Amino acid sequence: MPATSTATTGRHPGSPGDIRIAPSVLAADFGALAEQVGEVASAAEWLHVDVMDGHFVPNLTIGPPVVASLRRHSPLFFDCHLMMTDPGRYLAAFAEAGADGCTVHVEIDGTADLIAQMRRLGLRAGLALNPDTPFDAVAPFLEQIDLVLCMTVFPGFGGQSFMGDVLSKVAEVRAAVDSGSLPVDIEVDGGIDSVTGPKAARAGANVFVAGSAIFGRERPWEAAEDIRRAVLAARS
């Protein structure tokens, strides 16, 4: 277990713009999930939970029952990334299970209704963009949401290579958020490690999802701290 504690906010989301490390459980050992999450608890602020429906992406993962089980074992802020064609059917179940924030993709229909539903349920509301989805798709909603997730790989699988082309869009989101003084976090997800994380930080990201680069390591808490140190250095 980690020797030092640098990052625990409990279920509080933290302040917009603060650096946050969000290990993705997708790369954890699903047979020992609670233990794995416990290993990163003192080195992370958020836990990123990847939900895949087999329609929006060609893969299936987990749903509300697993979130509810993890909730009993972890005080972290649960950041649920819903890679789903019809997330509206499940938002209440995720809220009930203990999700703190949910992020839905802008590539599906009904974005305004989904934001309203997340708000009604008391969830932090996020919108995700695939690598080839332009900033314009999220721009009309920036004042209504808490988080923009810029995918730095095409969603569906862990362990893919970071797509640097996305950084110009991250910079566009950062410019819009800062010029409007909006309380919106900018998250990157896909191929993030202590080399790519700093690049995303320089472009304006402040929440860093990492699966393989954390749970693929023997000491996942050290890996999370390595990413934190690297992104903090990039911002200073």
Please identify, using beta-carbon distances, which residue of 197 and 233 lies nearer to Zn ion: 197
| Shortest CB 143 distance to ligand DX5, Å | 25
Out of ligand DX5, Zn ion, none, what residue 64 binds, judged by CB under 5 to 8 A for its kind, is none
| Shortest CB 81 distance to ligand DX5, Å | 5
**Partner residues linked to 105 by β-bridges:** 128
Stretch that binds Zn ion, among 59-67, 138-146, 181-189, 226-234 (CB under 5 A): 181-189
Q: Decide if 132 is catalytic.
A: no
Angle between helices 220-235 and 33-40 (to 10 degrees): 40
Rounded-to-integer distance, Cα 146 and Cα 141, Å: 10
Interacting residue with ligand DX5 among 7, 21, 26, 207 (CB under 6 A): 26
β-strand 124-129 against 77-83: which pairing, if any? unpaired
Please identify, using beta-carbon distances, which residue of 141 and 157 lies nearer to ligand DX5: 157
Ranges within 85-104 binding ligand DX5 (CB under 6 A): none
The residues annotated with a catalytic role in the active site are: 50, 189
